[in-house]
Structure 1
Amino acid sequence: MSSTRETEHPIHPLFTQRWSPRAFTGEAISEEQLLTLLEAARWAPSAYNAQPWRWIHVRRDTAHWAPIFESLVEFNQGWAQHAAALLVLVSAKQAVFPGKPAATPNAWHSFDSGAAWASLAFQATLSGLASHAMAGFDEPRLREAIQLPETHAIETVIAVGKPGRPDRLPEALRARETPNGRLPLADVAFEGRFKSNS
């Protein structure tokens, strides 16, 4: 995999400008800046327009920060402490679909919530902010912290803030603080039928 961001076909620069840094300045962002990101996510596509995503958001130095921050694994706490905000993306496991009298399982809730995350990430880049989604958190602890019912799944926790210098990171992470590449298109897109790369 290449460490450069050279495209094989012409695309809008936004797609290569967006990446997931861990270095943040520690500066605050305004509520309006945060709500702009969430507004972009609100317009993501979803199956039957069910819009299964829900967001729990906290800015640093507020009363709600600590319970969510403390649910992150130690590795993620090491760099996310300088983010301006944390957002927990959750999704409803059921939806009321057209023609159905009651809620039934929504097989696409995670897929559609991923589209909402992508929309937020691209808006962050357009807004001059950085965003980084994390899988490293204590799920039961986080669920309790945000008082999430079992009807919803936790998808990810996202750190957002103003991009900072890599020297703010622990030494082990500094070398990794660069946009990464992608697999060749031929390894992930196949005409007509699946091909194994193994």
Structure 2
Amino acid sequence: MVNVADIRKPDFEIDSQFLNRWSPRSFLEKEVPEEVLFGVFEAARWAPSASNQQPWRFIIARTQEDREKFHSFIMPGNLIWCKKAPVLAVIISKTTTERGFNAWHAFDTGTAWGYLALEAHRKGLVTHAMGGFEKEKAREVLNVPVDYDLHAVIAIGYQGEKEVLPENLQEREQPSDRRPLNESLFEGSFMNDTSNE
């Protein structure tokens, strides 16, 4: 396994959970006990929410039959590795409230995903969120109403060895670094970032 401390070094002291959580692609074909799995979603339940609307919803697949339904809309580049994950989840958000459009639905749902990912790590699981899936096909297969946005497919399970992955993915099977804090933090007003131009 990768030594995260060799790759990730914070600019300021933080709890190690934020550094040690990353998104592996290698999963063991090992079932996640229900109490462990549902504990992960329990953490997401307690995420902050504008006006307490709690717009997030999770559609999960734990059986082979349900996982194969999910496989039908996951892009081939992701399917090659996520097929072994014992749990797949699609995270969606309700875009409307009784007062109309909920401008905060995606923001709140992203926070719920963050809570889920950190609790999964604390429980000894790994997670990997994917944007590479056919949203409209997923909407059809999973019967998702039009007033919900589909955000990501999340693979959840226990981490496997990188050697079981195709060679090109083995090279990527390590935590990614982050840009320095001073490139993301602005005081008083925003300064345009021209570093990528």
By the TM > 0.5 criterion, same fold?
A: yes
* Residue from 40, 45, 53 that aligns with 2:43: 40
Counterpart AA for 1:173: L
Aligned to 1:71: 73
Aligned to 1:181: 177
Written as runs of structure 1 = structure 2, the 5 A alignment for 1:146-185 is 146-185=142-181
Structure 1 stretches lacking a partner, 5+ long: 96-101
Contact 1:70 1:77 in 2 (8 A): no
Q: CA deviation at 1:197?
A: 2.1
Secondary structure of 1:133's match? strand
Q: CA deviation at 1:103?
A: 3.2
**Alpha-carbon distance between aligned partners in 1 of 2:99 and 2:59, rounded to the nearest angstrom:** 23
**Alpha-carbon distance between aligned partners in 1 of 2:136 and 2:148, rounded to the nearest angstrom:** 13
* Residue from 122, 130, 139 that aligns with 2:126: 130
**Alpha-carbon distance between aligned partners in 2 of 1:80 and 1:15, rounded to the nearest angstrom:** 23
Contact 1:91 1:109 in 2 (8 A): yes
**Alpha-carbon distance between aligned partners in 2 of 1:197 and 1:168, rounded to the nearest angstrom:** 40
**Alpha-carbon distance between aligned partners in 1 of 2:100 and 2:39, rounded to the nearest angstrom:** 31
Counterpart AA for 2:126: A
Secondary structure of 2:116's match? helix
Query: Per-residue displacement from partner, 1:132-172 (whole Å, max 9, x unpaired)?
Result: 00000011111111100001000111000100110111111
**Alpha-carbon distance between aligned partners in 1 of 2:68 and 2:136, rounded to the nearest angstrom:** 15
Secondary structure of 2:8's match? coil
Once superposed, what is the RMSD of the aligned Cα atoms?
1.1
Identity of aligned residues (%): 40
Counterpart AA for 2:160: G
Q: How many pairs were matched up?
A: 189
Counterpart AA for 2:151: E
Query: Per-residue displacement from partner, 1:22-79 (whole Å, max 9, x unpaired)?
Result: 0111111122221111101000001111100011011142x32211122100011000
Contact 1:87 1:159 in 2 (8 A): yes
Please list every run of at least 4 consecutive aligned residues from structure 1 whose deviation after the TM superposition is greater than 4 angstroms: none
Q: CA deviation at 1:112?
A: 0.4
Counterpart AA for 1:84: P
Aligned to 1:99: none
Secondary structure of 1:79's match? helix
Aligned: 1:19 with 2:18: no
TM-score by length of 2: 0.93
Aligned: 1:109 with 2:75: no
Q: CA deviation at 1:120?
A: 0.3
* Residue from 8, 13, 33 that aligns with 1:30: 33
TM-score by length of 1: 0.93
